[in-house]
Amino acid sequence: MDQYDYIIVGSGIAGLYTALLAQGQGSVLILTKGGIGECSSRHAQGGIAAAIGIGDSPQIHYEDTIAAGAGLCDLDAVRILVDEAPDRITDLINFGVHFDTVDGEVALAREAAHSVPRILHAGGDATGEHIEITLSRLAMLAKVVILEYCLATEIIVDDGVVRGVRALDSRTGTVEEFRSRAVILATGGGGRLFNFTTNPDIATADGVALAYDAGAEITDMEFFQFHPTALRLPGVTPFLISEAVRGEGGILRNADGRQFMYDYAPEGELAPRDVVARGILAEMKKTGSDRVFLDVTHLPPRRVTTRFPHIYRFCLVNGLDITESPIPVAPAAHYMMGGVKTNAWGETSIEGLFACGETASTGVHGANRLASNSLLEVVVFAKRILEGKKEGVKPPDASEREHFSLSEQEGQNALENVPRLSLLALQSLMWDKVGIVRSGEDLAEAASILASWQKAVDKPSDRPFHEFANLILAGRLMAEAALIRKESRGAHFRSDFPQPSPDWLKHIIFRKPD
């Protein structure tokens, strides 16, 4: 049994950044279920938002974030996010991240729902990769123990206090126990719940499942962001086509070649992501096509290739020159806005358990994440975890909050009537029933099937089985939260309740019964 001051689960930007800060306060262990380079952060193209430009201010950034969040942002958390953003950018620069510049000044781009250009990029459309590689190099040189291919399977809690983690070494099949005074979940999102996603295979909602099983609060799971534009080519895995492409002047056209987004929103291509995703879905249905087209052929080719080198090269390798032909795109699951509920210091409802990054729900995103606020959220709230530990901040009191429990579902009449359990069946169910457009009937069916599947799952024994079980649990939390919320708000859209309701200006919080 090994003893550490901090155990960090996950090796993306959230985990690495936290580890580099934590090493100044004690011994640090990073547990990562794959290699250190396997993470969703590496795929982040859009950049990182911060109010550092002329004509911008934290107040304008605050107002844009609140507007995108559709009434459910935590106002204090958003204020922290925007006020601390410039300092965290400085931290990243000091760590060695080289942001793109123009004439010696940091280059700032504009993305949908931002009032002004405030998005910093590194390597054009490879921001996440540049930050992750920089931090991973530093972590491997630091006083940080990194155990690869070790999947956290249980958070050890005694008398309401975290004591450590149990983890499966997927190479040997052995389970080991690691003790610590703090556990920080930085495991990323759950995009593998859906059969069309921009997320890598590792995005299996592990942190949400670990925290729920330990008794922590899980909130806002109904709000999952579907990116409007993922590459849709036969035989090619969905690949993110950054929001910044539309910010640079990219035009969305339907299968007939007509620009259509102004039919759905006055902002056109720069409308919020949920509006654009639903607009694309509606246009696909009208034209009987499985895609629309994002057209940048009217832009100077050099501007396209230098601004989006990663996207340009990926498409070119797959036979598409985006400077000459429109990009076929369709929506795909992208970002989990809900997750493990934390306070402003990153602590959950269990003493000693923290969360940051996509697996956490800090309250800054509300019902709809503002583009490029996610990388910013990582560095702002990871820093606050360590500041809170230094100042001895107490965990939040969850006793007075309303909690929901997963319903006692028995499945559809009998287990034999439920679709056969498989990853593909799960992903298809979630896409069809708990996707971009939902209904009460579909959600109830999905919740029932997921409950039956969960009862049918044996105790996991290897990494794929653990990940599968985690996805089923996260899927249930998402489906039941979406069924409970009888309105449409932000990324959550129900065809049977198509308007927002003031009665639902509140959060759905799940906690496992004692």
Nearest to 44 by CA among 13, 85, 18: 13
- The residue annotated as part of the active site, out of 79, 246, 273, 438, is 273
Q: Which helix (H) or strand (E) holds 477?
A: helix 463-484
Contacts of 192 (CB under 8 A, 6+ apart): 199, 201, 202, 203, 204, 205, 427, 467, 471
SS (H, E, C) 456-470: HCCCCCCHHHHHHHH
Nearest to 84 by CA among 380, 358, 363, 364: 380
Active site residue 273: yes
* Residue 10, phi-psi category: left (phi > 0), alpha (psi -120 to 50), beta (remainder): left
Q: CA 236 from chain center: how many Å?
A: 22
**CA–CA distance, 162 with 181 (Å, rounded to integer):** 7
Q: Rounded to whole angstroms, what are the CA distances from 439 to 15, 30, 250, 493, 511?
A: 36, 41, 32, 8, 24
Instruction: Decide: residue 226, CB within 10 A, 0-12 exposed, 13-18 middle, 19+ buried.
Output: buried
Q: How far apart are the first and last CA of the chain?
A: 28
The β-bridge partners of 3 are 179
CA atoms within 13 A on the CB side of 167: 28
Got the DSSP string for 172-187?
Answer: T--EEEEEEEEEEE--
**CA–CA distance, 466 with 167 (Å, rounded to integer):** 11
CA atoms within 13 A on the CB side of 59: 1
**CA–CA distance, 465 with 472 (Å, rounded to integer):** 11
Q: CA 115 from chain center: how many Å?
A: 23
* Residue 353, phi-psi category: left (phi > 0), alpha (psi -120 to 50), beta (remainder): beta
Q: Which residues are catalytic?
A: 273
